[in-house]
């Protein structure tokens, strides 16, 4: 009986200090795993957004250069500012391209770039919101130029995907919510900027004769 009592006395358990140390180590490891998981999610989202914005920029330039290449007479597309002083537009063959710089696609009535079928003339698109949107939702067109020196046309575009937070590119001058700084980039420590992506795309084509 005495021997049995000694055996019970010699059995040792975890002390409170040891339990606290173990819980601290476990908590730190759990936090490291959580941060790593969140970072992987952000990188994946960033990659998806970059693919979307690059694809849209490529499709836009491809559409414009195709019209230039296959329209059956030489010309130089001229970008014109509409009478509403915001919309810019130009026409190639039977297509009119109208666009707003710094506008958030999908925010209210704002649009980025729309292509409309026309016949003959190149009408002023002021107040006209018809046409097929070529920029994806939650995107912003910062620049679109068409230059054709000596019949060699270059189309240049800068397109930004601003992600889930449309205040990422808040203009310091205090522009309206649907229109932000037209030179917005995915830089800085602004909230949501880790999800945004930008694409600069340029394509050159020879005019059809």
Give the chain's residues under pLDDT 70: 1-13, 41, 43, 72-75, 108-109, 163-194, 208-209
* 165 burial level (CB within 10 Å; 0-12, 13-18, 19+): middle
pLDDT at res. 185: 63
What pTM, to 2 d.p., does this model score? 0.72
Residues 76-92 have pLDDT tens digits of: 788 889 998 889 999 98
pLDDT at res. 97: 95
pLDDT at res. 175: 46
Which tokens hold the place of 23?
């819980």
pLDDT at res. 113: 93
């Amino acid at each position: 009986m005495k021997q049995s009592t000694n055996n019970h006395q010699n059995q040792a358990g975890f002390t409170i200090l040891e339990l606290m140390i173990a819980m601290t180590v476990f908590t730190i490891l759990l936090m490291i795993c959580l941060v790593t998981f969140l970072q992987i999610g952000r990188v994946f989202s960033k990659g998806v957004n970059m693919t979307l914005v690059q694809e849209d920029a490529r499709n836009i330039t491809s559409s414009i250069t195709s019209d230039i290449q296959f329209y059956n007479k030489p010309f130089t597309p001229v970008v014109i500012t509409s009478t509403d002083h915001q919309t810019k537009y130009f026409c190639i063959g039977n297509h009119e391209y109208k666009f707003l710089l710094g506008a958030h696609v999908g925010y209210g009535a704002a649009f980025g770039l729309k292509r409309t079928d026309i016949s003959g003339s190149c009408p002023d698109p002021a107040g006209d919101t018809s046409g097929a949107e070529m920029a994806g939702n939650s995107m912003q067109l910062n620049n679109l130029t068409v230059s054709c020196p000596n019949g060699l046309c270059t189309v240049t575009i800068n397109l930004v995907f601003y992600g889930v937070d449309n205040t990422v590119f808040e203009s310091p001058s205090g522009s309206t919510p649907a229109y932000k700084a037209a030179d917005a980039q995915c830089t800085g420590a602004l909230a949501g900027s880790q999800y945004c992506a930008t694409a600069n795309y340029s394509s050159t084509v020879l005019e059809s004769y």
